Amino acid sequence: MLSRSPGTTRAALTLTAAALVFTALPATARAAPEPLARYHQQHLTWKSCALGPDDTTGKELAQAGARCADVTVPLDYSDPRGRTITIAISRIRATDTGRRVGPLLLNGGGPGGSSLGDPPWVRDAMKDVAARYDVVGVDPRFIGRSTPLDCRWPTGSAWRGAGEDRAGFDRTAAFSKGLADRCRAHAGDALPHATTRNTARDMDVVRAALGERRISYLGYSYGSYLGEVYASMFPGRTDRVVLDGVIDPDRYSARLWRGTEPANRHALRGWASWAAARDTAYGLGRTRGEVLATVERIRAAVARTPLRLGGHRLDEHVMPLVVLNGLSQHNDAAYGDFAQGVRDMLRASRRERVTPSPWLAGVLEFVLTGTDSPYGSAQTAIICGDNAAPRDPEVYWRDVRRGRAGDPLFAPVTDNINPCAFWDRPRERPSRIRDDLPALLVNATGDPRTYYDGAEAVRERWSSSRLVTLKGADQHAVYGVYGSACADGAVNAYLATGRLPARDIDCAARTTP
């Protein structure tokens, strides 16, 4: 949720800044009697996934035996004879054809995340059961190799902290309005059609174009919400459904960050304990309290004067985003990257000349340059296109002031205004999610992105579902990512048999990261 897909730790996103291009199907296809028949019956041309010698994702797919194709879908499903766009997919076919289950479609979250490159690492997580599935990576509409949407932003993220005072908040409001205006100028025709409901409709066209009556589905983070919407819009067309990092659909809104503050504080404390045990390596403090005090000193320093980190200027609006970006993976490598980044910020606050570490440099490039503008553009367009947001800036300012009193680091981000306040109203109402679905839900208790309460709410709503809980980990995305034999085994057993566990399953986190 509001982050890159979990697979980005295993495979790079393939994002393109090409202009939005619409195409048309041949006239013969246009004459089909049913509105969507020409899309459902289209012939897919499978080709190499590698676009050239520098295409790392394509080469990884090719080495794993994947082939790629473009699926044509309507830009506007209310006008299926009108303009079209393409959805890029990859597929590694089942090798155990005698026991083949069918296609397993993937979504790694975001929204805005590319999943085209995910089949190789997902197949590794599936172990022997992978042989029974066609594992299909999908770049959703306007993302990655699908017809892109790019608002030509100077950032890859629409979110900012509100700063310390009203002047800072007003700057972020102006920034948000500017981003919304850029989208109208550069991608206005596409914006009304960038929604989860249309992405679900595209999934069903992919299903039909593959020649399948039903699909199985694995969705992470925002991908869990997409799975909930697809199963509600197209009942009877899902087989085995796994949702990892579960979003409560009743709380999915244009202000998705709200409510995550306690989970992020918990994750920050857990990381601080880890860093304190390694004070000789990072010099951030010998106790958890000392490390947290170091983070607070950096926040206070940035509020006074922006810091210079290499070629980037870190201010009060961006520093909290850096911290949030450091808190989603519960392992030594991620904790170490974050600790180095905090050490760099600490040194910069002392006015030392600092070349940021690779992790921090990547976060700063993402937030402070237009390198990943297509990612942020698509992510924001989908969130704003799904739900209407409050339009009065005073609503956000009131929430920021109230939240800051208890949480001066995270609440000014999670409660702050964003471009959705200046977006055109959505064309459709959000989906009404079905009352029950026999799905397998997976969540860590300390997940700082899709917090555990959401998984519990969906489990209660879907009485036929089962919940696999990773207890004691501040981890976003579990299956195939964290390394829990218990959780991975439960998912693979379900994918192999189609039978949910008799009861919910609790899995223990590692005693240390």
Q: Which pair of structure tokens corresponds to residue 480?
A: 């195939």
Kindly state whether residues 402 and 463 are assigned to the same domain: no
Cα distances from 507 to residues 458, 469, 511, in angstroms, run: 19, 6, 12
467 vs 458: CA distance, rounded Å: 9
Element (H, E) at 485: helix 485-497
Q: Read off the pLDDT of residues 133-192 as tens digits, 9 standing for 90 and up.
A: 999 999 999 999 999 999 999 999 999 999 999 999 999 999 999 999 999 999 989 999
Kindly state whether residues 59 and 124 are assigned to the same domain: yes
Q: What is the pLDDT of residue 5?
A: 42
Kindly state whether residues 81 and 134 are assigned to the same domain: yes
Q: What is the CATH number of the domain that holds 210?
A: 3.40.50.1820
Specify whether the CB–CB gap between 197 and 229 falls below 8 A.
yes
Cα distances from 231 to residues 238, 239, 245, 438, in angstroms, run: 7, 10, 17, 11
How much is the average pLDDT of 444-464? 97
Q: At residue 470, what are phi and psi to the nearest 5 degrees?
A: -90, 105
Q: What is the pLDDT of residue 19?
A: 36
Q: Read off the pLDDT of residues 52-107 as tens digits, 9 standing for 90 and up.
A: 999 999 999 999 999 999 999 999 999 999 999 999 999 999 999 999 999 999 99
Kindly state whether residues 246 and 309 are assigned to the same domain: no
Kindly state whether residues 224 and 290 are assigned to the same domain: no
Q: Which pair of structure tokens corresponds to residue 485?
A: 């034999």
- pLDDT greater than 50 at residue 498: yes
Using alpha carbons, select from 148, 105, 200 the residue that is nearest to residue 434: 200
* Domain end (from 425, 453, 485): 425
Kindly state whether residues 236 and 333 are assigned to the same domain: no
Kindly state whether residues 144 and 24 are assigned to the same domain: yes
- Would the pTM count as exceeding 0.75? yes
253 vs 122: CA distance, rounded Å: 29
Kindly state whether residues 83 and 210 are assigned to the same domain: yes
Q: At residue 507, what are phi and psi to the nearest 5 degrees?
A: -120, 140
Residues 6 or more apart from 350 whose CB is under 8 A from it?
Answer: none
Q: What is the pLDDT of residue 28?
A: 38
Q: What is the pLDDT of residue 510?
A: 86
231 vs 434: CA distance, rounded Å: 8
Number of domains within the chain? 2
- pLDDT above 90 as % of the chain: 92
Element (H, E) at 294: helix 288-304
Kindly state whether residues 161 and 214 are assigned to the same domain: no
Q: Read off the pLDDT of residues 9-67 as tens digits, 9 standing for 90 and up.
A: 433 323 223 333 344 444 333 444 589 999 999 999 999 999 999 999 999 999 999 99
Show the domain range for 299.
Answer: 150-189+258-386+388-425
356 vs 311: CA distance, rounded Å: 9
Kindly state whether residues 78 and 159 are assigned to the same domain: no
Residues 6 or more apart from 174 whose CB is under 8 A from it?
Answer: none
Q: What is the pLDDT of residue 207?
A: 98
SS3 content of the chain, % helix, strand, coil (to 5): 45, 15, 45
Torsion of CA 32, 36, 38, 44, to 10 degrees: -170
- pLDDT greater than 60 at residue 269: yes
Q: Read off the pLDDT of residues 220-267 as tens digits, 9 standing for 90 and up.
A: 999 999 999 999 999 999 999 999 999 999 999 999 999 999 999 999
Task: Tell me which DSSP letter residue 97 carries.
Answer: G
pLDDT band at 1; cut points 50, 70, 90: low
380 vs 187: CA distance, rounded Å: 12
Look at the chain and count its residues: 513
Q: What is the pLDDT of residue 17?
A: 30
Specify whether the CB–CB gap between 157 and 110 falls below 8 A.
no
Residues 6 or more apart from 501 whose CB is under 8 A from it?
Answer: 440, 466, 468, 490, 493, 494
Kindly state whether residues 232 and 106 are assigned to the same domain: yes
Kindly state whether residues 361 and 504 are assigned to the same domain: no
